[in-house]
Amino acid sequence: MNTPKTFNRIWERGVIIEPLKKSHKNKEKTYWRTKISCKRHDSEREDIIPVVLPEKVKNANDFKVGDFVAIYGLLRSIYSATAKSKIRKYVYAFSMEPADVENTRNLVVLEGTIAKPPVFRTTPRGKEITDLQINTGRDTNACVCWAANAHKVKDLPVGQKVRLRGSVQSRNYHKKKDNEVIVFPIIEVSVYFIETVDAKEEKEEVKISSPEA
C-alpha cells in the first residue's frame, strides 16, 4: 500500500517578543527558540506563535526583541511530557529574515489525511465550525473550518486526503480541574480554503508560491 504524499509549509511574519535562547540539542545540533506576535489580517487580535530554529539559520543570533521578521518553515506537532496538553506545537523555521512591517500576510499550506472523525459544532456566538485533525506524515495539526467549509468537511471519513490553506492562530483553552483552572495554549490552523484530493491528483506535485509572490 502506497503512503499518501503529504505537504506542510508555513510563511509567517511577526514581531519577536522573546529573546532567542537555546532550546535543546539533538545529534550534536543546537536549536534555538523564541516567540513571535503576529497580527491577524482581519482583526486587531494578535497570535503568539512559538518558533524553533536550528543554529545553522543565517544570522540567528543577531535577532532581538522588537525585530519584525519573516519565517519560512513547517508546522510541527510533537509529544512532550512537560507540555500541559502533552502535545507541543510550534513553527520549525528553515529561515528567518528581516521583513517589511507593512506586509503582515501569513499562510499555511497542508496536504494530508484526516486523522480523526471531524467534529461539527456551534460556538457560543452561534458560528458553525468543524474541527479537523490533519496528518501530514510526522505531524498531526488541529484545523478549524468555518461556515460553508464546516459543512463541506463535516462528514468526510478518516483517511480522506485533503489540501488546505489557512493561517496559524493561537488561543487559550481553560479547563477546570477540582478547584483549579488550568490554561492550555492552543495552536491551530484557521482554514479559508479546503478541497479533497483524489487518486489522480495524488500524483501531482504540490506547488505553492510564497505570500510575496
CB 103, CB 212: distance < 8 Å: yes
**Cα separations (Å) of 197 from 53, 110, 162, 165?**
31, 12, 5, 14
Superfamily covering domain 109-202 = Nucleic acid-binding proteins (2.40.50.140)
Q: Do domains 7-103 and 109-202 have the same CATH topology?
A: yes
- The rounded distance, in Å, linking the Cα atoms of 142 and 184 is 14
CA-atom Rg of the chain in angstroms: 18
Which amino acid appears at position 74 of this protein? Answer: L
Asked if the model's pLDDT at residue 164 lies above 60, the reply is yes
CB 134 within 8 A of CB 113: yes
- Quote the CA–CA distance of 123 and 121 in Å, as a whole number: 7
Q: What is the DSSP letter of 162?
A: E
- Report the alpha-carbon distance of residue 132 to residue 141 in Å, rounded: 8
Report pLDDT digits (tens) over 145-161.
999 999 999 999 999 99
pLDDT, one tens digit per residue, over 64-77 is: 999 999 999 999 98
Name the residue ranges covered by the structural domains of the chain: 7-103, 109-202
- Asked whether residue 9 carries a pLDDT value surpassing 60, the answer given is yes
Is the pLDDT higher at 88 or at 18?
A: 18
Q: Looking at residues 180-205, what average pLDDT do you find?
A: 80
Which fold does the domain 7-103 belong to in CATH? OB fold (Dihydrolipoamide Acetyltransferase, E2P) (2.40.50)
Whole-number pLDDT of residue 1? 45
CA–CA distance, 199 with 22 (Å, rounded to integer): 43
Residue 59 pLDDT greater than 90, yes or no: no
pTM, to two decimals: 0.85
Q: What is the pLDDT of residues 21-46, one digit of tens each?
A: 988 888 888 899 999 999 887 777 89
**Of the candidate ranges 9-13, 29-33, 57-61, 139-143, the one whose mean pLDDT is the lowest:** 57-61
Residues counted in the chain:
213
Window from 129-143, 152-166, 197-211 with minimum mean pLDDT? 197-211
